[in-house]
Amino acid sequence: MIVQQLYKVLVDKWPALLTISAIVYMGFFVATLPARLIRRVPLVGQELGGYEKRRIAYQNNAQRLYSEGYRLVRANLQMRYLVSSYLETVVDRCVSVQRKHI
């Protein structure tokens, strides 16, 4: 009996339930987006310890920390570029091989 009532509600209200589910999912996705993007940023001076030790190191020698951070970000961007260009090359080669066999 309960299963039949639940089935009837699902059949009758599926557009509304789908819309509500999509809104909840997008709200969760948007709410967690900044946290996921921030996790990709490399932390400079992690070997120094906590926040206070990094702050003191920054006050003592900001140029060194800036240079290290620049190097980390640049290496990360280069790696992404190399991987994406490698994948594009692989895909281009696969497509050209498939065209030759057609």
Rounded to an integer, what distance in angstroms lies between the CA atom of residue 21 and that of residue 25? 6
pLDDT in tens, the chain (102 residues): 788 888 887 788 878 888 888 899 888 887 777 777 777 777 788 888 888 988 898 899 889 888 888 888 777 776 665 555 655 555 455 545 555 555
Task: Tell me the whole-structure pTM to 2 decimals.
Answer: 0.43
47: closest CA among 29, 35, 32, 64?
64
